[in-house]
Amino acid sequence: MTTHTATFLWGALTMACSVAALLFLRYWRLTRDRLLVYFAAAFVALAVNWLLLGLVDPGEETRHYAYIIRLLGFALILVGIYDKNRRQGQPRG
């Protein structure tokens, strides 16, 4: 894969993650479910990850630090799922 193709694909992934984050925020406004906010934040983190990978020189050795942002995105999804399950198990009263 050429550098130009990879940069184009990272740009497309940035756009797709940004659109997904906006959709989650839109549905959060309708339902007020915190899980959707966690998912929106995770997709923003993933969009930032893809954006950084597209902007950083492919030969740069510090490039692997961008993947920490992707780890943050996946951690936000796990925290959101845990939060959703924890809230459902509590008695109402």
Q: Could you tell me the pTM of the whole model?
A: 0.87
Higher pLDDT, 88 or 15: 15
Residue 88 above 80 pLDDT? no
Cα–Cα distance measured from residue 72 to residue 68, given in angstroms and rounded to the nearest whole number = 6
Cα–Cα distance measured from residue 80 to residue 88, given in angstroms and rounded to the nearest whole number = 12
* Range with lowest mean pLDDT among 28-32, 66-70, 75-79: 66-70
The pLDDT, as a whole number, for residue 28 is: 97
Residue 54 near residue 7 (C-beta atoms within 8 A): yes
The pLDDT, as a whole number, for residue 10 is: 93
Nearest CA-CA partner of 28 in 45, 20, 73: 20
Cα–Cα distance measured from residue 20 to residue 63, given in angstroms and rounded to the nearest whole number = 25
Residue 40 near residue 28 (C-beta atoms within 8 A): yes
The pLDDT, as a whole number, for residue 91 is: 66
Domain boundaries, the chain: 3-88
- For 4-54, how does the pLDDT look when each residue is reduced to its tens digit (9 = 90+)? 898 899 999 999 999 999 999 999 999 999 999 999 999 999 999 999 988
The enclosing H or E element of 17 equals helix 3-31
